[in-house]
Structure 1
């Protein structure tokens, strides 16, 4: 979790003293200072996954 704004992401790597995070389910990576990265409570992981599934369902051709 990026504690600066509460964004939930998966750690993809480290570069230039920053941590690269990617949103769950895919998306554009963002840089985060290591001191702002922390563990994510399970309910926040679930909430982020449900939000991503809902986003995909809305984009699905009808």
Structure 2
């Protein structure tokens, strides 16, 4: 499965990676993994470059810690 871009949930300011769509919502997952959450499409905004870079670093760090 191809992972989507990092975005901001404008309701909470949380950064998440787009995992897909379900029932009219965008499903987001925190950088490095964790529990997905649903976000209405109108509350999804592109992540600023600095936030996206931080998210990518966290995801790589998490992958390196896994056995």
| Shorter-chain TM-score tier | 0.7 to 0.9
More helix by proportion, 1 or 2? 1
TM-score (norm 2): 0.68
TM, length-normalised to structure 1: 0.73
Gaps of 5+ in 2: 1-7
Per residue, is there more strand in 1 or in 2?
A: 2
- Deviation per residue, 1:26-45 (Å, 9 max, x gap): 01000000000010001122
The structure with more radius of gyration:
1
User: Structure 1, unaligned stretches of length 5 or more?
Assistant: none
Instruction: Report the RMSD for the aligned CA atoms in angstroms.
Output: 1.6
- Aligned residue number for residue 45 of structure 2: 38
